[in-house]
Structure 1
């Protein structure tokens, strides 16, 4: 399987939303409240990510099979961690809105997507990458750990079931 990463374009928005809807359903089937009850990524958010050139697509054999945002700037939710970030004096990026094509799940695509995003950050001179997931999302946690991230503590989004495990990749 030939894998690559590219920035998303406006024309990709519908496919990105399909991936997000698949991911929402998968999380629901797993019993996770993450992205449920209207708290998942919305089209407006995806379009904003694309406009800011922070939306990325994982391509396998010329097909879009994954999506995520690599968001720059301080994430207010990340400032109130119960735990400790390894670095706090340098710029960081956060990975959000990760979704993988459910029809080919199990091919370590999430790991490849995360590794690609970390590589992009490094090329931009950023050596601090952060990500979070709902505590029960063990599948995502496995991909996060296998991509070299370490657990740093808990954060809380201001939504129902907003608790998230927070992870960091640093060089």
Structure 2
């Protein structure tokens, strides 16, 4: 398995993973990504064009997981109800989804580990991520990769409250 930048010809496979993840999260009773507030085609195209969307592929190039590594200040993260450690430039991990076929097989944990390594290769010592409080599986994956809970942030959408985590290596 390897991490690589997403390409435009991956779009159909990526959107299938996001659509399945949106359905799965909804069945779990979480409002995260529901009612059109999940990853949309135009956003994913932008991520690909900005070279910030990554996919985790197997030896046959089948996409197992997808996420964006977004550099720069995230306005939502500036209004945390807790505190961030350090004040260096940081990178945020957003739009994380794992293919339905790989759920429960440890792929999410391994994928996040590879994303952290990529963030370090991009010279970031401060890595941030968030998830909804009802997304228990993602919370476990985040904590298993060494992130620490830092407080709550709120995205400007319905049910936009998210638990914010940080891996500070500085």
TM-score (norm. length: structure 1): 0.96
1:123 deviation in Å? 1.1
Aligned twin of 1:105: 103
CA–CA distance in structure 1, aligned partners of residues 147 and 58 of structure 2 = 24
Superposed CA deviations along residues 37-84 of structure 1, whole A, max 9, x for unmatched, are 110010010000000100000112321110000000100000000000
User: CA RMSD of the aligned region, Å?
Assistant: 0.8
Q: What are the within-5 Å matches in structure 2 for residues 120-135 of structure 1?
A: 120-135=118-133
Aligned twin of 2:151: 153
1:14 aligns with 2:12: yes
Helix, strand or coil for the counterpart of 1:82? coil
Structure 2 unmatched runs, 5+: none
CA–CA distance in structure 1, aligned partners of residues 57 and 4 of structure 2 = 8
Aligned match for 1:48, one of 46, 49, 52: 46
Deviating above 2 A after TM superposition, structure 1's stretches of 4 or more consecutive aligned residues are none
Superposed CA deviations along residues 85-128 of structure 1, whole A, max 9, x for unmatched, are 0122x111100000101122111111111111110111121111
1:170 deviation in Å? 1.2
Q: What are the within-5 Å matches in structure 2 for residues 89-104 of structure 1?
A: 90-104=88-102
CA–CA distance in structure 1, aligned partners of residues 156 and 102 of structure 2 = 33
Aligned twin of 2:167: 169
TM-score (norm. length: structure 2): 0.97
Structure 1 unmatched runs, 5+: none
Aligned twin of 1:79: 78
